[in-house]
Amino acid sequence: MTGIDDLPVRDELRGKSPYGAPQLDVPVQLNTNENPYPLPEPLVARIAERVAEAARTLNRYPDRDAVELRTELARYLTRTGGHPVAVENVWAANGSNEVLQQLLQTFGGPGRTAIGFEPSYSMHALIARGTGTGWISGPRSEDFTIDVAAAAAAIAENRPDVVFITSPNNPTGTAVAADTVLALYEAAQAAKPSMVVVDEAYVEFSHRDSLLPLIEGRPNLVVSRTMSKAFGAAGLRLGYLAAHPAVVDAVQLVRLPYHLSAVTQATALAALEHTDTLLGYVEQLKAERDRLVTELRGIGYEVTDSDANFVQFGKFPDTHAAWRRILDRGVLVRDNGVPGWLRVTAGTPEENDAFLDAVRELMKEQER
């Protein structure tokens, strides 16, 4: 039977696996950092209205520059990010994964490299691979924070073209201090003028402020965001960035024409009209996340401090066996390949109770 390796695929793709969090049909799914709350009915109705409006002109291509949507995203960032942002500073695409891909197509590519401080979001390395960008795995401390001296040394040594800083970090939940980002930005500019991409996919769940104000006066710094988590709209596929207008101009060189469908733009605009309600769910999830941290520690697990909508816990002598034991109890969590550690997404209070019951039993089993 013909397989991938029988096709003339690019050498660097041979023998590799695609991104693939298991999508298993179990009662409690806490493995992909989704928001557990469905969109509220008034918002569902508003989406139907706005999409119906968009449908009337679906014979035409959508606004290629998504100006209305970018204006509303800029308004949201200005309101919540601690820094005034205008439409020229904002760019949007199909999920922040596409934003990151456009950034690597623009600033990475063959003969160039990107660095991330691992363990971190695995798609950074995969998008690098897909865009022909060399990947450098930078260091992270035992406690999963970024050690500035070690990270700056890795930047000085490798002189990457793109530096990824994920805050809060996935899968560890660790937020990065503004001072650390500034020090790494300086290190990156000293090594070679390079782009620093701050991935803030989970920032709405953080105890700390957004790093958005750091874009001021730093044209090589980009903040990337998503509506998949805080806005509870993972199925929408809407990500965006904030940066100097020159960065927005630069990504135009690689974006596909009309990449954001009229339906996507209409749906995202409807969701943004309901920002306050959706951010109310975020407050509930933050409280549930903090409860998970406290209860897991109470049971006797080690827990990494979390600023995201998920919690990293351990340590397990056999991580995969622990993942399986939890799954046997009807709860799907994530094994991100960090030895000894698993990650659970904060769900509804009932889902979190089911998870806590499962890991309480697991702890008893391990103590036996």
Ligand X SMILES: Cc1ncc(COP(=O)(O)O)c(C=O)c1O
Task: List interacting residues with ligand X (CB under 6 A).
Answer: 33, 95-97, 121, 166, 170, 199, 201, 226, 228, 234, 239
Task: Find the shortest distance in angstroms from Cβ 98 to ligand X.
Answer: 7
The secondary structure of 119-131 as a DSSP string is SS-HHHHHHHHHT
The long-range contacts involving 36-41, CB below 8 angstroms and separated by at least 24 positions, are: 36/285, 36/345, 36/346, 36/347, 36/348, 36/351, 37/232, 37/281, 37/284, 37/285, 37/348, 38/232, 39/232, 39/233, 39/271, 39/274, 39/278, 40/274, 40/277
- Cα separation of 176 and 181, whole Å? 7
Neighbours of 356 (CB within 10 A): 18
Find the helix or strand (DSSP H, E) in which 337 lies: none
- Cα separation of 187 and 126, whole Å? 24
Considering beta carbons, is residue 134 or 239 the nearer one to ligand X? 239
Helix, strand, or coil (residue 312): strand
Considering beta carbons, is residue 97 or 145 the nearer one to ligand X? 97
Task: Find the shortest distance in angstroms from Cβ 100 to ligand X.
Answer: 7
Considering beta carbons, is residue 308 or 359 the nearer one to ligand X? 308
For the record, the structure tokens of 355 come out as 């998870």
Neighbours of 205 (CB within 10 A): 24
Considering beta carbons, is residue 72 or 295 the nearer one to ligand X? 72
Considering beta carbons, is residue 33 or 133 the nearer one to ligand X? 33
Residue with nearest beta carbon to ligand X: 95
Task: Find the shortest distance in angstroms from Cβ 170 to ligand X.
Answer: 4
Task: Find the shortest distance in angstroms from Cβ 69 to ligand X.
Answer: 15
Considering beta carbons, is residue 62 or 95 the nearer one to ligand X? 95
Task: Find the shortest distance in angstroms from Cβ 120 to ligand X.
Answer: 7
Task: Find the shortest distance in angstroms from Cβ 50 to ligand X.
Answer: 21
Considering beta carbons, is residue 96 or 304 the nearer one to ligand X? 96
Helix, strand, or coil (residue 241): strand
- Residue 350, C-beta contacts closer than 8 angstroms, at least 6 positions apart: none
Task: Find the shortest distance in angstroms from Cβ 85 to ligand X.
Answer: 18
